[in-house]
Structure formats: C-alpha cells, structure tokens
Amino acid sequence: MAAEDTASTRLGAGRQHLRPLKRRGLVLLRLTAIVLAVLLFCEFLIYYLVIFRCSWPAVKTPADAGGLGTPEPVLRAMFLADTHLLGAVRGHWLDKLRREWQMERAFQTALWLLQPEVVFILGDVFDEGKWSSSQAWADDVGRFWKIFRHPPHVQLRAVAGNHDIGFHYQMNTYKIKRFEKVFNPERLFSWKGINFCVPGTQLPADSTGGPWLISCPCLSFVMVNSVALEGDGCDICSGAEAELLEISHRLNCSREQEHRPQECGDRQRLPASAPILLQHFPLYRRNDANCSGEDAAPPDEKYTPFKERYDALSQEASRKLLWWLRPRLVLSGHTHSACEVLHGAGVLEVSVPSFSWRNRNNPSFIMGSVTPTEYALAKCYLPCEDTVLTTYCTAAGGLVLLTLGHAGLVASPFHFGWNMLRKFKTTPDTSLEPLSFSHSSFTMRPWSSKWFKNFD
C-alpha cells in the first residue's frame, strides 16, 4: 500500500513538472506563429493588397466614340524611374538587402497582377555605374536581372541616367557602350525592329519590306540619352544630336508623306502618330513649385531653383527636343518626386517618382494605356516604408508584453482586463446612494413619501 502511494506521488510530481514545460512550449509556439504571420504580411502579402487596388486606365478609341472599323489595339506599359541599385562602394549589405527586396517584391507582384507588355526604366538604374569597375558592374547587372526578371513576352528597356554613365564631365564612350550592351542601344524603341507595332496588329496582305509600316497602326517611343544633351559640341553630344536629327527627319517624312513624298526618298518610314519621349532628365522648368500631390517634392524643396544641365535639361536642349520630335507625351525621372508640367503647345511631361524606398517613403510607378492616337495614365502606389516599420514595431511591442506576461513580470493583457472588469463590478457606485439631509426638527428621505417629525 505504501509503495502504491509512493508511486502515485511520484507520478503526480512528474505531471506537475511537465505542466510548466508544456505551457512554455505553447507560448513559444504562439510567439513563433505571430512572428511568421507578421513576416508574411510585411514581406509578401502587403504588396498584393496594395498593388491589387491598381488598374489600367481606360483609353478612348474610335470604336468607343461610335466610329466604324476594328478597335485600335491598346499597349499596356509600365514606367519606373530611379531604382538606384547600390554598388560595392556606398552600398551597406543591410541597405541592399532591405531596399532591393522591396523593389523585387513590388516589381514581381506588379508583373503578376497587372500583366504589362513593356516596362520602361527612366534612368539611374544603378547607383554607382558612374565609377564602378568592370567586376562591380557585372555584379550589379546580375543583381538587376534577378530583381527585375520577367517572362520572355514582356519587353524591358531603360534609358541612361547620370548615375549609370556619369554626368557630362564623367561620361565616356566605354560607360555608354557597356550600358547599351545591357539595355539595347536603340533610340527608337520597337517591339519588332525599328518601330513599335502593338501586338495583334493585322498587316496588309500585300505589304512587303518597309511600306507596311505606313499603314500599320504603330507607336514610336524615342529614348533619349539626356546626359549627352549638354550642347557644348563634344563628340558624344554631337553624335547624340545627329542621331536625334535623323529620327526627326524620319518622323517628319512619315507625317508629311502625302504632301511631299519625294523629299523622303527611300528612307524607312515611321508611324505618322506623334512619338512618346522617354528620358532621365526632365525638360527645363524653374522648380517644382507648381507640382502637387502626396508624392510631390517636400515643401522645403519645391521652391529651390533647378540648375540647368544638372537638375533639368537646359532651355536650349528642351526647345530642340520639342521642336525636332514634336512628342505628344514626355516621361522623365531624376527628381525622385512626381510632377506634371505642360510645355509649349500643351505637351504634357510627367516626372515619375522613384521606385525605391531608398529615395522616398511612398514610391510608385506609372501605368500607361497607349494607342497610336491616344493615351491614358494612372499612378500605382507601392507600400509605404513607415507602414511596414510601424507594423514591425507594434508586433515587437506585443511580443515583449506577451513574454513578460508569461514570465509573471507583468499581468497579461487578458488577465489585466478581467481583473479590471471584476473590480469595476464589485466596487459600489456611491453616485447611486439615496440622498438624505437633516434638519434640527426633522429628517427627509427622498425615496419616502412620508415625513417623520422627531420630538425632543
């Protein structure tokens, strides 16, 4: 009998010893689940929740206006700017990991949800291309293609920025060539060859060679190396201007082919529609004072005068581009902030904000629906960095409280609330006590309808 009591005592003691371990295991499991849930939300789900709200803008076509004929095909294009992939010199490993992961998740989520046909990056793809060595450049390019990987049916093109090839006094032929080797040297971007024909376009049955470009409803995107538009007559600058003049002649021939066909000769024709101009530096403007929106420049920077050839193109270079190319739309980067400006005869320029958390808290990109005659633009915001940081800080504070509550150092939120509720229930409310007051000869109680006199 004594042996049985001893055994039962030992068994009870063993069970009591296991209870704290089991309780600790459950707490650890809960904490791990919370950490994984927060990581999943902040590093994956938040991008889907934010970008899911974006949609392609509707563009008017002749069919929408009641016109006859087949509807014009619509190109879906994404425009990014200033990704600034960090290099070996100024790039801290933690900064690289955080900001490049943000751009990778944002870009891959946008590709999956929005399904664009072409992506343009408007300069400053890299942060240290202006001075990086051959090995550092190769490493940066490899990381770029990992972050901005895309399926074969999606085209990706980029224009050079001052951080890719350096400012005018830093750039040279070697830097330009190695950038063009990665991103294609075409100044007049096309889906197939020189011109950009929207997929799905039906070509005339008798078209051969070049003439089909005239009747094909195509789009032209002129991609400019704006760093080379210094206007000082250097070899690179002269070559860039000569190339733009050639494109201008071809565009003019396409526009005026019905009136003066003999002046163009055998020159390859381009679409008659006005091109879209893509470049890194914005066209000349005094400052960002007239820019508005939540992603515009901060108030303390809006009125800072722009320096020509540094913050924006010179007035001369801007006039040349508008005169030579006569674009219907201009898209640029460089300022890291959003802005919309009307130039000349109502030509709209849109400055695209930076795509990276490194340059702004609320990055975004532009979505464009483009036809040969019309376009429509919409902005798609990415998750704000402070939203993610606030979520992490709140979760960390909650985990600390739960851990301390389990250790008994502080009351758990549940027990604290329950004790407060019990205390509230058991504490008498003196405000509900019956009122009474005394007089020398009698006492009156308000809940009683009788008066009682007290005789001495």
Chain segment 99-157, per-residue pLDDT in tens: 999 999 999 999 999 999 999 999 999 999 999 999 999 999 999 999 999 999 999 99
Looking at per-residue pLDDT, the higher value among 199 and 94 belongs to 94
* Side-chain half-sphere exposure of 99, counting CA atoms within 13 A: 25
Rounding to the nearest 10 degrees, give the CA dihedral for residues 336, 311, 296, 53.
-40
Q: How far is CA 260 from the centre of its chain?
A: 45
Name residue, tokens 């066209």: 283
Q: Which of 42-51, 81-90, 149-158, 429-438 has the lowest mean pLDDT?
A: 429-438
Distance CA 351, CA 279 (A): 10
Whole-number average pLDDT of the chain: 80
User: How far, in Å, are 21, 229, 339, 375, 427 from residue 58 at the CA level?
Assistant: 61, 35, 21, 9, 64
Q: Say how many Å lie between the first and final Cα of the chain, rounded.
A: 79
User: How far, in Å, are 118, 190, 215, 216, 220 from residue 203 at the CA level?
Assistant: 21, 16, 8, 6, 17
Looking at per-residue pLDDT, the higher value among 275 and 3 belongs to 275
Show the domains of the chain with their CATH numbers: 42-61+72-197+216-255+267-388 (3.60.21.10)
Name residue, tokens 């019956």: 434
Residue 226 DSSP one-character state: G
Mean pLDDT of 396-416: 72
**Number of helices and strands (H, E) in the chain?**
12, 16
The fraction of the chain above a pLDDT of 90, given in percent, is 53
pTM: 0.79
**Parallel, antiparallel, or unpaired for β 221-223 and 276-278?**
parallel
**219-268 residue pLDDT tens:** 888 999 999 999 888 999 999 999 899 888 888 887 766 555 566 665 55
Q: Which stretches within 256-383 are classed as H helix?
A: 299-302, 315-325
Residue 452 DSSP one-character state: E
